Structure 1
C-alpha cells in the first residue's frame, strides 16, 4: 500500500500557471498534518523527490515544477531565485495548512529554498514570512558554490569572494554543470533513447531506478517533428545559473538567515561525496565545507558518503540521510530547543 495519494494541480503565478504535485499522506496523526515543500534542481522536476516522499509517511509533500521545467516548461521569464521563491510561496499558500512548512531544496532548489527562507526577514528573525518556514534542509546545494580556476576542477577563492556581481557565469557552465547543460540542446528520437542517455551517464552506473526513470520521462517535451527534447530552455538554465552566483535576492536572504545563530541552527546542509559526473571532489569540496562549518557553527552539516549529486536522492543511504534531516527539522521549531 502506498504511503501517499498523489495529484498534480496548476496554480496562477506571474505570467501563467505553475504545475504543482501534491502527495497527501494516507495515514496521519490527529491535528495539523506536517507539511514539507520540496524544490528541485536546475534541470530537474518534482518527481525526483518521490523516493524521499516514500520515506516520510504521515507528511504532506508539496512539489512545484519550477517555471521553465517539466509541466511548467511553458511558463517563461522572469527566472532567478526571487521569481522561483515567489512561485513556490504561492504553491505553499495554496496547498499548505496554516502553520510552518519545512523547506527542502536539492541543488539549485536549495538556493530557492534559502531565498524563500530569508524573504521578509531582513535583520528581524521573527518576521512573518520567515516564521512561515522551517529549515531549509539543503541537499547538495543552497550554499555558495566555488568558482573553478581556469584549467582546474576545484575552486580556490576565499569565502568572501564567492559572490561577484560582475562574474562571467557563461564560462562556468561547462565546468560546473557539464553534460547537464549539453543535454538541453539535444534531441532524442524516442523516450527509450533518452533513458539510454542516462543509463550511460557516469552518475547512474548502477542503473536507473523507478524514481529516476519516471522523473526523466516526465521531463521530456515533444517536438513538432515527433522527436523529444528536455523541457528546460537553455536560457532559463543560463539565467538561473547566473543568479545563483551573482543575484542579490539569494545573497541577501543567505545573510539574513545566517546572521542569527537561531536561524543558522534551523539550516541543515547535506553534501554528496561526488559531483554531477560522479567524480571527486563533490560539488562542495571538503575545504569549502570546512570553511562553512567554521563560519556558520550552528548550521548542521551532514556528509553523505558514497553518494553523488544525483543519487543522494535515489540510493538508500542518501534517502535515509535526507529523510532523517527532514524529520528532525519538522519538530525543531516551537519545542524550545532553539531558544
Structure 2
C-alpha cells in the first residue's frame, strides 16, 4: 500500500497557471498534517522528489513545477529567484494547513527556498509570513556557489557580495551546468532515446531507477515533428543561472536568514561528494563548505558520501540522509511521530 495519494493541480499565479504535485499522506495522526514544500533544480521537475516523498509517511508533500519547466513550461517570465519564490508561496498558501511549513530545495531549488524563507526572516517582516516556515533544508544547493574564474581554473571561494561580480551568463551556465544546459537544445526521436541519453550519463552509471525514469519521461515535451525535447525553457535557465549569482532577492534573503533569530535561520545543508558529472570535488568543494561552517556557526552541515549532485535524491543513502534532515526540521515527538 502506498504511503501517499498523489495528484496534480494548477494554481493561478502571475502570467498564468503553475502546475503543482501534491502527495497527501494516507495516514496521519490527529491535528495538523505536517507539510513539506519541495523545490526542484534548474532543469528538473517535482517528480524528482518522489523517492523522498515515499520516505516521509504521514507528511504532506507539495511540489511545484517551477515556471518554464515540465507541466509549467508554458508559463513564461519573469524568471529569477524572487518570481519563483512568489509562485511557491502561492502553492503553499493553496495546499498547506495554517502553521509552519518546511522548505526543502535541491540545487537551484535551494536558492528559491532561501528566498521564500527570507520573506519572513527580517526584523520588520509581516508576522503571518515570518511564522510560515521552518528553516530550509538545502540539498546540494542554496548556498553561494563558487564563482567560475576567467581562464577555467578551479574556484573554491564564494563571493562576499554576489552583486559585485560582473559575470557572463554563458560562462556561468557552461561552468556550473555543463551538459545539463546542452541537453536543452537537443531533440530526441523517442522517449527511449531520451532515457538512453541518461543511461549513458556518468551520474547514472548504476542505472535509472523508477523515480529518475518517471521524472525524465515527465520532463519531455512533444514537438510538431513528433520528436521530443526537454521541457525547460532556455530563457528560464539563462535568467535563473544568472540570478543565482547576481540576484538581489536571494542575496538579501541569505543575509537576513543567517543573521535572524527566527526559526528561518535554522538552516540545514546537505552536500554531495561528487558534482553533476559524478566527478570530485562536488558542486560545493570541501574547503568552501568548511568556510561556510566557520562563517555561519548555526548552520547544520551534513556530508552525504558516495553521492553525486543527482543521486543524492535517488540512492538509499541520499534519500535516508535527506529524509532524516527533513524529519528533524519538522520536529520529532517522544513517541517517534511528527509534531503537528
Same fold at TM > 0.5 = yes
**Alpha carbons of structure 1 residues 266 and 283: separation in structure 2 relative to 1, 3 Å:** same
Structure 2: distance between partners of 1:50 and 1:153: 37
Superposition CA RMSD, Å: 1.6
What SS does the aligned partner of 2:164 have? coil
What SS does the aligned partner of 2:303 have? strand
- 2:238 is aligned to 238
In structure 2, runs of 5+ residues without a counterpart are 333-340
Structure 2: distance between partners of 1:157 and 1:234: 28
- 1:327 is aligned to 327
Whether the 8 Å contact between 1:220 and 1:229 is mirrored in structure 2 is yes
Structure 2: distance between partners of 1:114 and 1:202: 29
What SS does the aligned partner of 2:290 have? helix
Whether the 8 Å contact between 2:133 and 2:263 is mirrored in structure 1 is no
- 2:214 is aligned to 214
Is structure 2 residue 122 aligned with structure 1 residue 122?
A: yes
How big is the shift at 1:22? 0.3
- 1:254 is aligned to 254
- 2:36 is aligned to 36
Deviations 1:37-91 (A, max 9, x none): 0000000000000000000000000000000000000000000000000000000
Deviations 1:267-320 (A, max 9, x none): 100000000000000000011100100010101000001000000000000000
Whether the 8 Å contact between 1:79 and 1:236 is mirrored in structure 2 is yes
- 2:309 is aligned to 309
Whether the 8 Å contact between 2:272 and 2:303 is mirrored in structure 1 is yes
Count of aligned positions: 333
What SS does the aligned partner of 2:117 have? helix
Structure 2: distance between partners of 1:263 and 1:165: 31
Structure 1: distance between partners of 2:312 and 2:179: 18
How big is the shift at 1:168? 1.9
How big is the shift at 1:21? 0.3
How big is the shift at 1:326? 0.1
How big is the shift at 1:171? 1.2
Deviations 1:310-334 (A, max 9, x none): 00000000000000000000028xx
Structure 2: distance between partners of 1:163 and 1:82: 15
How big is the shift at 1:216? 0.2
Deviations 1:161-187 (A, max 9, x none): 544353223212112100000000000
How big is the shift at 1:261? 5.0
How big is the shift at 1:129? 1.2
- 1:160 is aligned to 160
- 1:19 is aligned to 19
Structure 2: distance between partners of 1:140 and 1:31: 33
Structure 2: distance between partners of 1:317 and 1:207: 16
Structure 1: distance between partners of 2:29 and 2:122: 35
TM-score by length of 2: 0.94
Whether the 8 Å contact between 1:273 and 1:307 is mirrored in structure 2 is yes
Whether the 8 Å contact between 1:147 and 1:162 is mirrored in structure 2 is no
Structure 2: distance between partners of 1:150 and 1:158: 14
- 1:298 is aligned to 298
Structure 2: distance between partners of 1:293 and 1:157: 13
What SS does the aligned partner of 1:134 have? coil
What SS does the aligned partner of 1:21 have? strand
